[in-house]
Structure 1
Amino acid sequence: METILGLFIITFIILIFVNAYKNIFNPKHDYSGNLDKQKEDYENTFLYLIDIIKSLFKK
């Protein structure tokens, strides 16, 4: 049983590295020097994450 679990963990770790490699060398968003658009996307993502965290602590 431990062998199967170990294989799943190793496979999962390898998949994480493959996914990170693909995202580094083939990013989803190519702004081609448009820093304003990149900044806008970053700000929207950051605000979205803050909203998610706030919603976790709402009663």
Structure 2
Amino acid sequence: MRGRPVTWAVIQRYGVARDTARRAVKLLREQGYVETIPHRGTFVLVRDEVDAPK
């Protein structure tokens, strides 16, 4: 399992500042969409449709 530099990917894709990208990743982590594992990376979590917010 290998994580992608998610913050950098957000910066590149959306053209936002580093702080904005970090806050976005933090929100995704708090809402259960991604998990950050120290020294490994940030990973998208698989969620059932039932668990996903509407």
Q: What range describes the TM-score normalised by the shorter chain of this pair?
A: 0.3 to 0.5
Q: Which has the higher helix share?
A: 1
- TM-score normalised to the size of structure 1? 0.31
Which one has a bigger Cα radius of gyration?
1
> Which gives a bigger RCO, structure 1 or 2 (Cα 8 Å, sep 6+)?
2
Relative to the length of structure 2, the TM-score reads 0.34
Name the structure where strand makes up a greater proportion of residues.
2
